[in-house]
Every structure is written in structure tokens, then in C-alpha cells.
Structure 1
């Protein structure tokens, strides 16, 4: 039995919860994964997994073995990373996850530049507005917008940006401008279909937080579609400043109620391990933070790592 290989297989099974998911992640067949786990249990003379029809669970011995095995595998990764550090070339695979609108407009060009700097890397960019399971989906680093839920992941805030109300000059010519947040109810409103606030718009003004009630007449689940709808004069809407800066500069959109805005939105990079951060991931995060300084509408920053 290849003890090291079986250890790696067991750790993936423990993290992903099923033999089939681990087999896909490792590029093995499910019977091969099952055989490795059985051989490892026989070698250790302990049952590692409770098997059920839906999902596997660790036994007490399995949980203890998993914690030690994960540390061993991390130590091996660190040793290999240290040995390869003499070479400046980054190699291997880098899987990045990010939100669709921001990712397509600003993240993709930054990653393209990173690929040019490190041609020996194989990079995969996955754009999706849902929150990816980094471990289960093999994501090395994710870019996330907004507040983070508590988890075992590590997060580093790299930038923040404004979210503002805008409309087109044509809309203003036809419908006039609201003078206060309360006036928004008398206007056509454009928003994300999955907005958790629904028809309530939380704003921050000169006297603090206020909530405006709106009447949505166009909804979509894509930022680029909503921005085009706003440019077409179909209503007022809240937007991420970095996605519309060029439209503001050209005059296609103008800011509405400039003394009011949504709460600023933070951008975090998120990754799975605090103890061992591969050189390729560290280099990518540094590249990302550096290039965010060039994005109009973003305010970049460096703060200590924290649990996400």
C-alpha cells in the first residue's frame, strides 16, 4: 500500500464527504478510492469512517487521524515549496473564484496580466455570484464582495468601494430628479432580482442611515444588464462605482441624490489555510492588491488576515 497516497485520499474523502466527490477531485475511480480507504483502515487497524447511503462521517479515530494527516500533508507541501523557492518560476494550477460582474470587468484583466508574468502556471477563473465551497471545489483563492460569514477560511481585505444611485440624463429629462430618499417611491427603480432588501433601499446620508422604499419596474440578476437598462433611461438604480465609472465619466449616467449612498462594500480575498500559503497564491494575492490600486472607483488597502 502507498501509505502517503492513501493518506492524501483519506483527507480528500474527509473534506468532501463522499467517495465519489473525492474520486472526481483526485482523478481516480470510486472503487480505487474505496480500496485505498479500506487498505488504510486495515493497516491502522481502526475504522476511520461511518458509511451511510448519503454522506460519510468520521469516527473518533478518523477525526484524530484526519487532523494529524492534514498537518503532515501541509508540512510536505511546505517542504516542496521551500525546495522550489530557488526558482522564480511559479508552476502548477491556480483556481480562482469571483463574482460575475466585477470579475468580468476588473478581475479578468488582472488575471490575464498575472498569467503573462507566470506562463508556467495553469490558471482557471470561475465567475459565479454564489459563494463557492473552496475546499470541495478545489478553489485556491476567492474574491468576495461584501460582508463575510464566519467560517474557518482566512480572509484579507484588499479594497473597498462605493455603491451609489444613478440614472441616465434621458430619464432625468423625462421624470425629473428625486430631492430626498422618500421621493424614490415615485420613480421607476432598477435592481438586482436577488436583493435581500427587496423594495427597501438602505442608504447613508448626512444625518446617518435612512431607508427608502422603491417601486421596482425592472429586475435582473446581472450587473452589466442592469447598467445598460439604466443607460437606456428605464429608471434609477443602485450601482457599484467601479462598474460604472466610465459611464459616469462619459455622461451616460449621472449620480442621483449625491449626498446619499449605500454602505461601502469591501472586497476580500479568501483562502483555506492560515498555516501554509503556497507561493503561487501569495504571489497572486499581492498582484491582485497591487493592481486594484489602478481600478477607478476602488480604494485599495492592506489589513491583517482574519478568519472569514
Structure 2
């Protein structure tokens, strides 16, 4: 049997969390994945994964083998890059995750430009507003907003994302423009359905942070849909400035409560830490940093 290939499959199963997820990532069938794991266990004469119909868990031996196997795979990749030299053509798969709004509006163009410069790199761009586990989803680089939790990830700061309060001229004509927290409380809100504050707007004003209760009129999990709702005059809402610049220029949206804004969000590119960072990851993060200047 090909022990190294089986080792790579085992590590992907562990990091993906299931045989089916690993099969999708490796573009093979689930039975093929299962056969490789079984063959590896028979070769090693030890059970690595305890499998039931509902869940999968590493055995003690499996946990030890995973740590050693992952280090071996990284060392093999590092040896290949060292042998090829730093000036070698970048190759291999590069999986990138970004929030949908900024990802579709800006990051996609950067990713396309990077692939055009490095045509041997296979790009897999995943646009998702959810927080993803980079190891579990086999993500090489992710774009994240806001404060970063302490983790094993390496972070490269890209900028600061501004968020302002906006409404359509149609809405303002019908309902007026709030100028303070008291008048804001009488208005309808357009917001993300996963906003932790719920029916409230957390803002920073002249006197500091405030949280204003408002009535939610429209929710969605997509920034473009929320912008359409705001332009249609459904309510007032916070919006990421890069995503509404065109609507502001065209007069489809106007800023309200100009003395107030949402807290700005730090924007980072993050990637798994380790003794070895693949050249394609380092190159893409540097490219991303250079080509996102001015977006935020």
C-alpha cells in the first residue's frame, strides 16, 4: 500500500471531521476513503479511528499518529519547496475563505489577479459569512473582520472597515431623519439576522458607545440583500462603507445620524501557524496586502 498517501488521507479525515467531508475535499468517493483508512490501520496493526453510525473519534493511538503524520506531511512539502528553490513556480491548491459581501465585491478580483500571475495554482474561493475552522475546512487563508480571538492562527492586518448608518431618500422623506438616540428609537431597522444585538443598534456617538432599541423590519444573511432593502426604503441600517459607496454616489442611499457610527472592524488575513508556511500562502497573503490598500 502507499503509506504516505494513506497518511495524507487520514490527516484530512481528522481535520475535516468526517469521511464524507474528506472525500469531498480530496475529490474521491467515501468508500475509497474508508478503504484507505482501514488499510492503514491494518498496516499499523492498531485502531486509529473509532467509528459509529453517528460519530467519529480518534483513539489514543490515532491522536498520537495524527500529530506525527501532520508533521511528516509538512516536512515533505517543505522539502519540495526547498529543493525547487524560492524562485520556483508556485503550484498546488490554495483554498481561500472570505465574507460574501467584501469577498464578491473586492477579494474575488484580487484572487483572480493572483491566479493569473501564478497559473499553476489551483484556486478554491469560498464565500461564506460564517466563522469557519481553517483546519476542519482545509482553508489556507481566510479574511476575518473584528477582534481576533486568541488562537494558533497567524494574522496579517489589512485595514479597518468602517460602518455607517444609512437610509434611502425615500425612507427619509416618509419617516424623517433621526439625529440622536431618542429619535432613532422610533425607526425601523434593517440588519443581519445573526446580529448579536438583535433589535438594537450598537453605535458610537459624541458621548461614547450607546445601544439604541429599535424595531427590526427586515433581516437577511447577505449584505447585498440588505442593501437592496435599504435602497427600497424599508428602514435604517448599518452598512459596510466599501459595499455602499456606489449607492451613496448615485444618491440611492444617504448617511443619517452623521455623528454616530458602528464601531470600526479590523480586517485581517489569517492562516494556520506552523514551522512551515507554504510559499503559495505567503505569496498570496503578501499579494492580498498590496492589492487591498485603499479598499477599507
Shift of 1:74: 0.6
C-alpha distance in 1, partners of 2:98/2:294? 18
Aligned to 1:115: 115
Aligned 8 A contact 2:15 2:138 in 1: no
Aligned to 2:191: 191
Aligned to 2:84: 84
Aligned to 1:51: 51
1:186 is paired with a residue whose SS is coil
Aligned to 1:124: 124
C-alpha distance in 2, partners of 1:175/1:38? 66
2:65 is paired with a residue whose SS is helix
Report the CA distance shift for 1:205/1:12 in structure 2 as closer, same or farther (over 3 A).
Answer: same
Shift of 1:75: 0.6
Report the CA distance shift for 1:169/1:91 in structure 2 as closer, same or farther (over 3 A).
Answer: same
Shift of 1:78: 0.7
Aligned 8 A contact 2:165 2:261 in 1: yes
1:72 lines up with 2:72 in the alignment:
yes
Aligned 8 A contact 1:97 1:127 in 2: yes
Shift of 1:281: 1.4
Aligned 8 A contact 1:97 1:126 in 2: yes
C-alpha distance in 2, partners of 1:182/1:144? 33
More moved, 74-83 vs 42-51: 42-51
Structure 1 segment 218-233 matched on structure 2, within 5 A: 218-233=218-233
Report the CA distance shift for 1:78/1:177 in structure 2 as closer, same or farther (over 3 A).
Answer: same
Shift of 1:149: 4.4
TM-score w.r.t. length of structure 1: 0.86
1:73 is paired with a residue whose SS is helix
Q: CA RMSD in A?
A: 2.2
Aligned to 1:263: 263
Aligned to 2:240: 240
- Give the aligned length: 296
Aligned to 1:134: 134
Aligned 8 A contact 2:157 2:268 in 1: yes
1:191-228 deviations in Å (ceiling 9; x for gaps): 22332211111111122111111122233332122223
Aligned 8 A contact 1:182 1:213 in 2: no
Aligned 8 A contact 1:17 1:55 in 2: no
Aligned to 1:284: 284
C-alpha distance in 1, partners of 2:182/2:265? 23
Q: Which runs of 5+ in 1 are unaligned?
A: 299-308
Aligned 8 A contact 1:159 1:268 in 2: yes
Aligned 8 A contact 1:155 1:269 in 2: yes
Aligned to 1:305: none
1:157 is paired with a residue whose SS is strand
Report the CA distance shift for 1:217/1:41 in structure 2 as closer, same or farther (over 3 A).
Answer: closer
Aligned 8 A contact 1:98 1:126 in 2: yes
More moved, 145-154 vs 88-97: 145-154
Report the CA distance shift for 1:64/1:255 in structure 2 as closer, same or farther (over 3 A).
Answer: same
